[in-house]
Structure 1
Amino acid sequence: MPTPTLPTASALDTARVLMGVILPAVAEGPIIRRPRAVGLAARLELDARAVGILQQLHARYPDGPLLLKLPFRRQAVVLAPEDVNTVLARSPEPFSPASSEKLAVMAHFQPSNVLVSRGPERTVRRALQEQVLDTSHPVHHLADRFVPVVEEEMRQLLVGAEHSGSLPWSDFAEAWQRVVRRVVFGDHARDDTELTTMLNRLRKDGNWAFLKPVRRRTRERFLARIRDELAHAEPGSLASVLAAVPEGDGAEPVDQVPQWLFALDNSGMVAFRTLTVLATHPQAMEAARREVDADASGRRFLPYLRACALEVLRLWPTTPMILRQTTQPVQWARGLMPARCGVLIYSPYFHRDEHHLRDAHNFSPERWLRDEDDGWPLVPFSDGPVVCPGKQLVLLLTSAALASLVGVRDFSVEEGQPLDPSRPLPGTIDNYSVRLGVSPRM
């Protein structure tokens, strides 16, 4: 008797997923954002439309992951929350994060990173990442070094904003890149924009995955720079921790560092978006300031501001497509998923589910403090054994930056999308078009 297979979408429904869900996400930039594409997605509400497409598909195909009808690729889309939990809990085996697409993307700048590793090598590289990033602790053991770096850069950012009269995204991004370089490599790398430029060039190539050849000379020059940084690691940096950790077989420490640079770079987008939301949500701003004013942790642990960053990531995840690929056939209740099948979890579909989440389209950071949605797949950092190892470090840095800003200044949105706390928030936020007004705190 033949083994039943999972439900398969029609050719029309497959086309709707490809054109309405996957293509817009890819166009916006999976590795580094394309500002014009983000602006277009915001104007046309493409991300909200993608959520609507998947809602319609789930109503039509209610059971099990849905296979797409593709001639060139075995691909499934996860539409049920319990299936999300299964996929993430059973990663990296049999649901490997080293999907074919991710392998092609990462080849441009970190071909031996943990994200595209399998078997014993992945185990070694993951352990190395967790040790350096202090994954299991909400406050990194170098927080006494990192938080003053954030505070110093935010103070200088405010000086420039007061001189010019406003704070655009571009100024914030430059300040944040200085934070990232100092955290990863130390103070001497503060103004090493060449390193960031090289990485961004390679990330832009990575956006094209298979479709663009690898700039091998640029990649080798970039990785050689990182190798030199590790050889002369500055105390108090992530590089110094990495340099001091004994290497296991196949650890490839140099290839682990680019991930920190680009992931922490993306966290600057989270910080600026959160600041923009707080500027338009007076009650949340008041709660944030109460926490900052009463803080006794030296800005090391600010639960409400961390919840604000998590809520912004729920509303607008920086990694909307979570990708896995089966390493062997996987049996589901409704049928068999074949080996080497791609698995797509489109997180905005679950993060914006108004049928199951209270205030799904509104800013409600309290949800992260009450665990009110426990069991529902809110996965801004993925989840399970493959959860982002830098999650706590990202929350530390972003909350410290926000505290340094909202504790001393008032902010208003001078340019950019209207964010009205009394209305549903848009499916896409275009931080590139935002300009904040800055004034003394009242």
Structure 2
Amino acid sequence: MAISSRLDTARVFATVLLPTLAKGVIVRRPGVMALAEKTQSDSAAIATMRHLRDRYGPEPVRLRVTGRSIAVLVDPADVGRLLRESPEPFALATKEKKAALRHFQPHGVLISEGAERERRRDLNERALRPENVPVEAVVRDEADLLVRHVMSNGELTWDGFSQTWWRIVRRVVLGNAARDDDQLTDDLKALRQNANWAFLRPQQRGLRERFQRRLDEHLARREPGSLAAFPGDLSGQVPHWLFAFDAAGIVTMRALAVGGSGMRGVLESARLWPTTPVILRESTIATRWHGTWLPENTEFVVFTPFFHRDPDRLPFADRYAPELWDEVRDPAIVPFSAGPGECPARDLVLVTASAMLDALTEHLTFAGVLDEPLPATLNHFTLRMGATPVGTRVP
């Protein structure tokens, strides 16, 4: 069994796990993201992961942690197995995930188990289909307003993009009547900020109840042309849909910054800068890995930036390479996770995000696109791109 030294365990916590937590797993913290970009913290994290693989070999590396069995994966094939064999024997509903997500989605599919998970997963898979909503029409309607704004001031910023993105999300998920309900998503953001602290912060039940009442009022309309019109009990699932669309907006803005377009541009953005930097699974039984047994309740950690940006394994690690999505066979390049726990909104997110990219780039040419090699850490909060109408000659 590969058991890390105390020094290497400390290095994993110092450069991989704690910086990831500090940036905000549920909602990003602007100040920490700025520092992470300045120091390129993900470069140090990837270097640590390469060190583990080189020193201990391909089997999972078990950290020296008292009272908890934690194994870090370093082999792409092991990532494929872990995701493929979820939720049994590798449960998605880990202790840490439950503690975080209960702050705002206590009935969400990600922290559900058994028959309840199967029922909720099926509902999510059927509801979150792009054909259920006129996504492109909604995106183009809102993007047109953003294009006019950007043309007037010559610059696209995260703040401007984000405001438009959330209007799109509220219309797609809840209907046109929710378009301007900033309070709904502001309350959700506050709950997600609490969720960043997981066990360490008590739940704000009053805030969650206020958010849920507001959300249920929108859902009660069952507005045609929105996801809310889908039959079924959506109340406990929609908080996660809104949460996931936040990450999709970050991916879309970063895709613009790298000169991306279409669905492959969205996928490449998510490969280069994963919005789910750590995938967790917890074993429900003892499991055998490379000839070694790991005990029940072992928490498995997949640090996705390492598998997406490993220069020893991937010749395209630090460049924009949309062509790789024509036929991806790498089991550890998983921008939407994989296996039974794959994001059920994958297709919906790709359609929405790529429609936004296309709507903007049809009318605007962006300056300040990132140069290669691309940075390991990219702070979306401070992205600012000069923009001119397509066809305008730049002196």
Specify if TM > 0.5: yes
- Match in the other structure for 1:137: none
Work out whether 1:202 is the aligned partner of 2:151.
no
Q: 1:308 aligns with which of 265, 272, 275?
A: 265
Work out whether 1:272 is the aligned partner of 2:253.
yes
- Match in the other structure for 1:34: 29
Distance 2:152 2:178 in 1: 26
Q: 1:332 aligns with which of 278, 282, 289?
A: 289
More displaced stretch, 63-72 vs 396-405? 63-72
- Match in the other structure for 1:226: 215
Alignment of 1:97-246 (within 5 A): 97-134=92-129, 140-143=130-133, 145-241=134-230, 244-245=231-232
Distance 2:50 2:329 in 1: 21
- Match in the other structure for 2:8: 13
SS at 2:366 equivalent: strand
Aligned-pair CA distance for 1:412: 1.1
Distance change in 2, residues 1:63/1:356 (3 Å): closer
Alignment of 1:26-105 (within 5 A): 26-105=21-100
- Match in the other structure for 1:301: none
Distance 2:136 2:346 in 1: 16
Contact between 1:63 and 1:334, CA under 8 Å: does it hold in 2?
no
Contact between 2:73 and 2:302, CA under 8 Å: does it hold in 1?
yes
Q: Please tell me the residue identity of whatever aligns with 1:117.
A: S
Q: Please tell me the residue identity of whatever aligns with 2:258.
A: V
- Match in the other structure for 2:370: 419
Distance 1:75 1:223 in 2: 35
- Match in the other structure for 2:390: 441
Q: Deviations over 1:8-40 (max 9, x none)?
A: 111111111011100111111101111111111
Distance 1:29 1:72 in 2: 25
Contact between 1:412 and 1:436, CA under 8 Å: does it hold in 2?
yes
- Match in the other structure for 1:408: 363
Q: Deviations over 1:34-90 (max 9, x none)?
A: 111111111101001100001001111113211110013211101111110110000
RMSD over aligned Cα, in angstroms? 1.3
Contact between 2:15 and 2:41, CA under 8 Å: does it hold in 1?
yes
Q: Deviations over 1:155-199 (max 9, x none)?
A: 101111222231111010010000000000000000000101100
Work out whether 1:386 is the aligned partner of 2:313.
no
Aligned-pair CA distance for 1:141: 1.3
- Match in the other structure for 2:329: 374
Distance 2:301 2:74 in 1: 9
Contact between 1:7 and 1:334, CA under 8 Å: does it hold in 2?
no
Contact between 2:178 and 2:218, CA under 8 Å: does it hold in 1?
no
Distance 1:266 1:86 in 2: 25
SS at 2:343 equivalent: coil
Aligned-pair CA distance for 1:104: 0.5
Distance 2:363 2:212 in 1: 40
Distance 2:159 2:310 in 1: 32
- Match in the other structure for 1:430: 379
- Match in the other structure for 2:310: 353
Structure 1 outlier segments of 4+, above 4 Å: none
SS at 1:167 equivalent: strand
Distance change in 2, residues 1:391/1:216 (3 Å): same
Distance 2:353 2:292 in 1: 43
- Match in the other structure for 1:292: none
Distance 1:85 1:92 in 2: 13
Contact between 1:277 and 1:419, CA under 8 Å: does it hold in 2?
yes
Distance 1:365 1:349 in 2: 18
Aligned length: 391
Q: Identity over aligned residues, as a percent?
A: 42
Aligned-pair CA distance for 1:328: 1.4
Uncovered stretches (5+) of structure 1, i.e. residues with no partner: 1-5, 135-139, 248-252, 279-283, 289-304
- Match in the other structure for 1:294: none
Distance 2:345 2:331 in 1: 22
SS at 2:237 equivalent: helix
